[in-house]
Amino acid sequence: MRSTFGMADRVMLHASDLVSLEASFSLFLLSGVFKTMPELQVVPIDLTVFFLFTTVCLIAWNFITGRLTLPPFQLPVVMVVLFCELAVASLFWSSLDWLNMDKAARFSLLTSPSFFIACLIGQDRRRRERITRLLVWIAGAVLVRYAYYRYLLGIDLAAVSDDLTQRTGLLTVNYAEYSEQARIVFIAFLTLVVFGTRTQAAIAIVGLSAAFYCLITIGGRGALTLSVLAVPLFVLGLLLRPTNSVRMLARLAIPLVVIGSVAGTAYTAFTTGSEEEAAQFVTLNRYILEMTGESSGSIDKRAELRDTALEEWLRKPIFGWGIGEFRIKDTKFSYPHNLFLEVLMEMGVVGAVLFLAIAMSAITACLRIARDPGTGWAGMSIALLLLTELTSRLTVEGYLADDRLLFCYMGVVIASQMVTLRSGDLVRTTSGMVGPLPGRPQQTP
């Protein structure tokens, strides 16, 4: 099936996707969202550890069967290795509290492997497309479950309520987690409208509307802001493409009208409807309370935490205080809600320079993905997810021990641009067309 602009990336899941390495890895990445669901409480083991174990086993099997090869050991990978080594080494000049050791262990065993596993997957285009599909489908399933509980059972799983678990028997996930799932779906459908077939685009518009409605009702202001930011970033990416830019921008006008219509309808219902109707739009209510100063505690506390991180960094600027040390100084909030300042305070200028260099390598890779005429909705989705995730982590969010998705996105986009002639991926030919390497078969996932 072909789209208006070339071969469309596959959207529907096949049976082979469900038993793949990418499926296990995707479940590992998002396990924090669904492992607290009551339906899964009967599982006697930690699902994060379980899916990491199955992912490692599948990697070993793929190496044995020749379906995976090591990625090129180029500068971006070297910098990540050095950053990880610095993070672990910094434990020894920290206070060696159990909080420090816990964070070092979680970063070493859960976060940093996400980058290297993603590098293995990112070498092959079909694997990149598969993991994108799986992340979108899993995020969509989480949102469907959320909608079922909220609109059919009348239970808002993302409600900030101390007694919700006692009243319902449900272990709740933070509203920000559900909002992040909506952001993943929103960005994927936004790109699918432009790159997909007409049928895919029509379905994507419906999904885009539903995801945007979730963003303005669940309560995550950051996720809504980043989703809106993805639109101008997408426009910039389309302008960088050597062909079909104008036609793609014209097609992008359709989802923009849909988003504007949903936003206008929601705001009208919020301002003119009953209190019960207005209460449904939690995100809009939180925005207004923040702008009017009635409830600015969240932003004010983040500013205070950032100031604390900067003040502590100035006391030990070169190598910092050691990983996890911010949790020792502020046990209530554990991290400054700014990944760059967290790294700066705990690993000093050395760690911050390494982190920024890795981030710049990932951003450069995203620009190359946008300029590649062979990029489809999956490649563009990963690039936009990374850019918005990185924006969030450099401003108001981030915790090094839990940022598996960020490191995964960086690994995928960096590996996609490091592929050498032995990888069997797609390359630009001298005529400007995109095709398989001459004389080399495509890799079999």
159: left (phi over 0), alpha (psi -120 to 50) or beta: beta
In angstroms and rounded to an integer, the radius of gyration of the C-alpha atoms of the chain is 22
Q: State if pTM tops 0.85.
A: yes
The answer to whether residue 5 scores a pLDDT higher than 60 is: no
Q: Does residue 414 fall inside a structural domain?
A: yes
Q: What is the DSSP-derived secondary structure letter of residue 74?
A: -
Q: Does residue 436 fall inside a structural domain?
A: no
Q: Summarize the chain as % helix, strand, coil (round to 5).
A: 70, 0, 30
Q: Does residue 131 fall inside a structural domain?
A: yes
The pLDDT assigned to 28 comes to: 96
Residue 356, judged by CB atoms within 10 A of its CB (0-12, 13-18, 19+), counts as middle
Measured between alpha carbons, how far is 67 from 157 in angstroms, rounded to an integer?
41
The pLDDT assigned to 186 comes to: 96
Q: Does residue 167 fall inside a structural domain?
A: yes
The answer to whether residue 260 scores a pLDDT higher than 80 is: yes
pLDDT tier, 2 (very low <50, low <70, confident <90, very high otherwise): low
- Is 260 in contact with 17 (CB distance < 8 Å)? no
The answer to whether residue 434 scores a pLDDT higher than 50 is: no
Q: Does residue 305 fall inside a structural domain?
A: yes
Q: Does residue 46 fall inside a structural domain?
A: no
The answer to whether residue 439 scores a pLDDT higher than 50 is: no
Domain that holds residue 129: 71-423
Count of structural domains, the chain: 1
Please give the single-letter amino acid code of residue 38: P
109-134 mean pLDDT: 94
The answer to whether residue 168 scores a pLDDT higher than 60 is: no
pLDDT in tens, 301-311: 888 889 999 99
Q: Does residue 75 fall inside a structural domain?
A: yes
The answer to whether residue 445 scores a pLDDT higher than 50 is: no
Q: Which residues pair with 435 in a beta bridge?
A: 427
Q: What is the DSSP-derived secondary structure letter of residue 93?
A: G
DSSP 1-67: -EETTEEPPP-S--HHHHTSHHHHHHHHHTHHHHTTSGGGTT-SS-HHHHHHHHHHHHHHHHHHTTS
The 3-state DSSP class for residue 440 equals: coil
The pLDDT assigned to 195 comes to: 92
In terms of pLDDT, which residue wins out, 356 or 151? 356
The pLDDT assigned to 331 comes to: 66
Q: Does residue 241 fall inside a structural domain?
A: yes
Name the strand (E) or helix (H) holding 190. Answer: helix 175-195
Measured between alpha carbons, how far is 285 from 288 in angstroms, rounded to an integer?
5
The answer to whether residue 436 scores a pLDDT higher than 50 is: no
